Amino acid sequence: MKKIMSFFVIGMVTILLTGCSAKMFAILGALEAHEDRENKQGIEKQVSKLDSLSSTFSIAYKEGVIAYLTNFVGQVQFYNEKTQEKKTVQLPDGYESLQITAGDNYFYVYCYDGENEDYPRYLRMYDTNAEFVKEVKLPFQMVLASDGIIFGYYDKEESSSDIDGFSWFSSNSNSHIEATHYIREEDFIDTYPKDIGKWTKMKGEKELNIDGKIMHPCSKKDINHTVQFYSNEKPMEALEQICYVRYCNGNITSDETDKFVKDRLEQIYYMMHEKEENFAIYSFQNNNQIYGVCNVYSVSTGILSDLLTDDVEYSFVFRYDESQDTLCKVKEYDKLELVYTDGEHLLTHKMDGIYYQNLQTAEEKKVYDYDGAFVIVVVNGCVKFQESVIHYNDNTEDVQVVKKLW
């Protein structure tokens, strides 16, 4: 019997996001031992590398409070930037979380009951004090709140256990919403409708303007979609084409035999010094723009996770020019591993940690120290760092730190 797995153990996806904050960084550690990063005694030195980079709805921010899904089943942690107070919420027994988003009124945690063979799904509401407000059973595969609207994705051909929102391609675009239905948040709170008939179904071939939020029609059917849906981001095939060639060790995979993918790969080669064999690409769509970073390595074992920070020869930022349907190099860097950019913000990976740079002011600061391989998740300017710290006594501790960077 299939269970939906938490995304925290997934190995290689891509993405991140927006706006600079003058507030002090909010540091959330799953373990108190991680709060003092200066204390390195007893920690075994590890190889420096980026294991995974993604953007999923696992972090939400509202009124100075960060809420995020931890790597412990059914656990949600809240952190108040002003008071620096942490609160941990445990979902009911058997519940596993899928997404967390912030609406105008509450935090919304969408979860399912893993102990029930039908895997029923529930939307649980919490206030900024981490107090439970209400639980509503819903039929949707995904539920997300944004700008005073609650969106749901529904496909009657698929059971709720067959679709895991974290594995969708939508997780490769920051704050990317895919939905078939919606309801205004104030209307939802007034009636808490469980019946899908009380929600507005989105249909038609034209863009929809829902209280100023533009939703684009997407008719594509693939392994993840069997129905027409709408997205808050314009469908751009270039993003998928770039993602097919995210990693290359000199061999062209079967996925890259597609003419459009091969053309995109040639555009990437054109931006390099020469036709490189070992490189990794992270590309991100924000609204109607696509930015990407490419790191070129001196050596590779043929496995993406074995690309080491110390082996970076050069890197560059590129963007997609929709008018010309081509990729353009923006800036090149020497021996610097790039993680993310959207044209305004830049995350880089050096041997001693992760650095953030505001590209408008050129100000750079170190935002995370680490002891080896780690995973990054970024949503709406909130960045979660996750690593396994190995001690000399062979004990391993999983650490999570979340910061509001912009």
pLDDT confidence of residue 302: 62
For 190, the token pair is 């007034």
Give the separation between CA 336 and CA 350, rounded to whole angstroms. 7
Distance between alpha carbon 230 and the CA centroid of its chain, in Å?
19
The pLDDT value recorded for residue 172 is: 45
- Residue 17: the pLDDT is 33
Residue 25: its pLDDT value, please? 32
User: Could you state, in chain order, the average pLDDT of each consecutive group of 10 residues for the chain (406 residues)?
Assistant: 33 32 33 38 53 74 94 93 95 94 96 92 98 97 94 77 42 70 98 95 95 90 80 88 70 59 90 91 86 89 72 96 96 96 93 93 91 75 80 69 90
* Pick from 23, 25, 22: nearest CA to 355: 25
Q: What is the pLDDT of residue 237?
A: 87
Q: What is the pLDDT of residue 64?
A: 95
